[in-house]
Amino acid sequence: MTCYVHHTSIYKISEYSRHLKSLTDEDKYSRFGYLISDYNIDQLILNMCYNHKDHELWYARTDEMRVGWGHMARNDDGSWELAVSVEHEYQRQGIGDQLITEMLNWAKFHHIPEVYMHCIEDNKVIQHLAVKHDLKTKSRSPGERTAALSLPEANVFEANAQLWKEHNEIMTEFARLRKRYKELWSNAIMPKPLL
């Protein structure tokens, strides 16, 4: 199955909220470390809206639908926390891995020195992915581990690839705004319909 990962903005936040709410109880527990309620997801989303500069989102999609999300959040101390979740029926197909790769590439390019991720002790899959991406995991509290990674600066190839990826994102946004601009003017010069 081909899957594409896109870096996205706050515009897609309602879809992120729907995704989080639709996770199975087991996946909610693995993602948040407790069985989060819809109310608490709404609080998280509201917080993201108020502080949107501190949040970055990615989604993974097949040709038909979005199947996974990556979220990086900047804390008050400037550290960045990374979290991922994939729709249950699309897990174990490399999507989580792809999301983490994209997120770490973005973080390196933007000179973020360190990222970390909370994992519950039983979540062997995310611990495997953390180690695969060179995050060092250590025990945090009973039943919980933290995986952290000091990020090197992007090398010239990584920086170039990320530069063009973000260039294309900006061009897509320009195209969207240009369409809106044209609609605005065509609306203004269109004759009013006869009553």
Ligand X SMILES: CC(C)(COP(=O)(O)OP(=O)(O)OC[C@H]1O[C@@H](n2cnc3c(N)ncnc32)[C@H](O)[C@@H]1OP(=O)(O)O)[C@@H](O)C(=O)NCCC(=O)NCCS
Q: Note the residues at the interface with ligand X (CB under 6 A).
A: 27, 30-31, 83-86, 91-97, 117, 119, 123-126, 128-129, 132
Q: How far is the CB of 68 from ligand X (least distance, A)?
A: 6
Closer by beta carbon to ligand X, 94 or else 113: 94
| Residue whose CB is nearest to ligand X in the complex, by number | 96
> Which residue in 130, 40, 145, 31 sits closest to 83, CA to CA?
31
Q: How far is the CB of 39 from ligand X (least distance, A)?
A: 19
CA distance 84 to 123: 13
Closer by beta carbon to ligand X, 114 or else 153: 114
Closer by beta carbon to ligand X, 21 or else 166: 21
Closer by beta carbon to ligand X, 101 or else 159: 101
Closer by beta carbon to ligand X, 27 or else 54: 27
- Contact assessment for residue 92 and residue 102, using Cβ atoms and an 8 Å cutoff: no
> Which residue in 16, 21, 82 sits closest to 48, CA to CA?
16
* Amino acid of residue 39: Y
- Please state the three-class secondary structure of 126-181 as a single string: HHHHHHHCCCEEEEEECCEEEEEEECCCCCHHHHHHHHHHHHHHHHHHHHHHHHHH
Residue 106, token pair as written in the block = 């973005």
Q: How far is the CB of 110 from ligand X (least distance, A)?
A: 20
Q: How far is the CB of 142 from ligand X (least distance, A)?
A: 18
Q: How far is the CB of 168 from ligand X (least distance, A)?
A: 24
- Contact assessment for residue 39 and residue 20, using Cβ atoms and an 8 Å cutoff: no
Q: How far is the CB of 178 from ligand X (least distance, A)?
A: 36
Q: DSSP label at 102?
A: H
- Contact assessment for residue 67 and residue 5, using Cβ atoms and an 8 Å cutoff: no
Closer by beta carbon to ligand X, 36 or else 86: 86
